[in-house]
Structure formats: C-alpha cells, structure tokens
Amino acid sequence: MQVISTLLLLICSSLLSANTPLLFPNSFLKGVAFSVHQNGGDLFGRSNWSVFEQKKTVLGTPTVTGNQRCNSSVGFWQKGFEDIALLQELGCNSVRFSVEWSAIEPEPGVFNEVVLNFYERYCDALIAAGIQPTVTLHHFTHPHWFDVIGGFEKEINITYFVRFCKVVFSRLNNKVALWYTINEPTVYSFMGYILGMHSPGKTMHFTLAGTVLKNLLLAHVRVYQELKKLPGGQQAQIGIVHQLLRAQAYSEWSPFGKFTAWFLNFCAAHKQTKKFLETGIFEYKIPGIVNVQTHCPEAPQSYDFIGINYYSRVVTGITGPTCFPNEVMTDMEYAIYPDGIYNAIAEMATLGVPMYITENGIPDAKDEHRAEFIKNYLKKVHEAVLDGYDVRGYFYWTLMDNYEWDRGFTQKFGLYQVDLTNLNRVLRPGAEPFKDHFLIANRA
C-alpha cells in the first residue's frame, strides 16, 4: 500500500508546478514538536533544570541568558487543552510532546496521579480532535533526586528510568502508538558535560560525557526491551531521537576552523551513535584523553523506527560559526541548508527502519526567513519520499515560542508568537507554508 501511495504521489508531483502545495501520503504524520518543560516549566521546582538555571557558569555568569527563569514558561499546564485548536488550525494530524518525569515522579517511587491523569485527558482530547499523540519519555529533564544519586553518570541508575517509562507506558499505551525513548542523547552529553551549557553544567569532562552517552544509549535499549514485554508493547512503535549534526570548516586553509569542526564532530558523536545502533558497538575515544567503550548485541534490534532531528550543519570560520556565500544565517549558529535534510534521510535510511523527522525548525525573531526555511526543507523531505525513502512524518520545532534552554526566551522558533505578558498566541505569517503548503492526501 505504501508503494502504491508513493507511485501516485510521484505521478501527481510530476504534473505540479513549483508553487503547488506539497502532497504527502495519507498515512504521513504532519505535526509539531515541543517539550513540556519548555512550554510549561516545572510544577514542583524539583527538576534538574530548575536547579541548573540557578547556578553560575565556570566564568561566574548566569547559566541562562539574561539570568532568565523558565517558571511556567508559556503556560502549557494552564492552556494546553486550548492550544489543541492551534494544532487544528495548522492542519496537524499528529503532535510530538514529552512527559515530564519530575512532575510524574517528584520523589523516588512516588507517582503523581493528578499529573498522570492530566496526560491521559490530554491524549484523549488530542484524539478527539483528530490528532495522534506521540510521546517522548526523556527530553533533557528529569527529577533533581535522580541527579543527586548520579543520574545517567551511573549505569546502575538506568533502572529508575526504566521504572518511570513502564509506569507512563502502562497508562498511555492504549492512546499512544508512537514512542520516543530519549531525545538527542548526544546533545545531552555534549552540552551538559563538555560545554557545560546545559544541566548539570560540567565542563570538559570528556570521560564523563562518553559515559553518560553510553548509558543513555543503553537506557534506550533497556526501555525498548521492557516496554515490549508490557501489554500493548508488541503493537507499539518504539524508537530513539537522534540529532544528526555535522560541522565543516569554511576553508581548508584555516587550522582553527578545521580543528573546531573536528572537535564538534567528535563531541556531537553522530558516528559513534549510528555505529552503536547498527552494530551494538560503542566507542568514544581520543587517544590519551578519553576511552569509553561497550558492546550491546541487542542494540540493532532495539528500535522500530528512528527519529531524526535535523536543523543544519555548522560551518566553522576563523572567528566562529559562519556560512558559505549565498546562504542565510538564522538567529542561532547555523544557516538555512535544506539539502542537508535530504542527505540526513539518505544516510539514516541505511538503518533499515522507517524514519520520522522529529524536529526541524528555525529561530527567526523577525520572521524574515521562516517561510523560506519551511518551504525549502519540506520540499527536500517530499523529494526523499518520492525517491523511495521510508519517511513517515515531519514535526516542525515548534508550535510556539518557548524556553530555549540556556538561551532562555530569546530564540523564536514558534509558528505562533507568544506575548509573555499575557500568553496570547498569534500565528506568524512565516507559518503559512506549513499551514497551507504542507498537505496530507486524505486532508487535501
């Protein structure tokens, strides 16, 4: 059926002009992604991020730009049900969101029924609105008590994460078909243990960074295995979300640029992670500096799909991030580079499982380039589908402006602009290609 659908799309697409909306298969997921912490903050002040944002960096500066606090962010816990209408306005048939471990299990072994019931009702409301809920089990945040006992720095602690995942899955598995175990384990390791810009804020701890990444990948395998044993586990689709990030030097003649690109590529750990998923072998090594290894034979059978977070590639110049001629920089350290998302799909296709673009977006406070970004990246995803790659969904990051970790509220990724004084949501003009140019066959 998937082959027939793709052939029909190929025939139709050959007849369409460049300005015609992109038509995806009727089973394709059109959605947005967000994390509940970034949209709703910390209900109890007991998460690792609530502690981290009150610290200082090694240079004595605030850990978050402008010393901002997430607090209740843009009011997910208060307005989440209302915001379902925004998803409908965009034509979404799915949404990717996280469950907040610190809210569900604020103390070890103590599970908050009120919060679990909230998530049940939220999923029910999404389904009633014709929107398929998909769930991320770990999106950078967890209870502070988990950090106190060592967090993912200790392999033995994986059992706590598995317990949490089993509780959530048992409550939601009859409502949720698509599960993401861990969001961007490479980013968690790199930003938290090498750059020190994310929780727990440890800098240049290479061995610890490798250990944490290894343990996150092992945690994914354990969660996959345990959830598959539960009622509904065999029917559920369970995968991991990987950010595919590469760096390249602007000039081969720049030693600084070449070294920075090499450093970023090692720390971003794309090759190490993909090799683990393909073979079960994990090697995080710099001779004389770090050597973390493990072998997990079950890893290649531990995912039903792969989630790909792709934004761009980083170009390193003499003084820092840059871009090539005729490229447009976003508000962060990367340029608009739509060819990269096609390349990412082609590379990850070698894993032999379905793929979802679980994040792709642009920080663009002036809304000058968002429409161009969305249209050109979606075109490349559409091309990949027509070329036979098994891509089954695209989730834009993100629904509305929110708390962008160490950047606070300074980065504007949202399709909806949010006024932080009253939490009013206003659809940006730049969201038009996502709303009207991105169509699903059975909704067109």
**What is the set of active-site residues?**
359
Q: Which two tokens stand for residue 283?
A: 């090697």
How far is the C-alpha of 312 from the C-alpha of 338, rounded, in Å?
Answer: 7
Per DSSP bridges, beta strands 29-34 and 94-98 are: parallel
Terminal C-alpha separation, the chain: 19
Q: Is 159 strand, coil or helix?
A: helix
DSSP 400: B
Per DSSP bridges, beta strands 237-243 and 178-183 are: parallel
- Long-range contact set of residues 221-227: C-beta below 8 Å, sequence gap at least 24: 221/296, 221/298, 221/299, 221/302, 222/158, 222/162, 223/137, 223/161, 223/162, 223/165, 223/181, 223/182, 224/181, 224/302, 224/303, 225/298, 225/302, 226/162, 226/165, 226/166, 227/165, 227/166, 227/169, 227/179
Q: Of 101, 20, 32, whose CA–CA distance to 444 is shortest?
A: 20
> Kind and range of the H or E element at 423?
none
Instruction: Please return the burial class of 143, using the count of CB atoms within 10 Å of its CB with bins 0-12, 13-18 and 19+.
Output: buried
Contacts of 185 (CB under 8 A, 6+ apart): 213, 216, 217, 220, 240, 242, 273
Q: Which two tokens stand for residue 242?
A: 């990987």
Measured between alpha carbons, how far is residue 162 from residues 70, 88, 138 in Å?
27, 33, 11
How far is the C-alpha of 30 from the C-alpha of 91, rounded, in Å?
Answer: 8
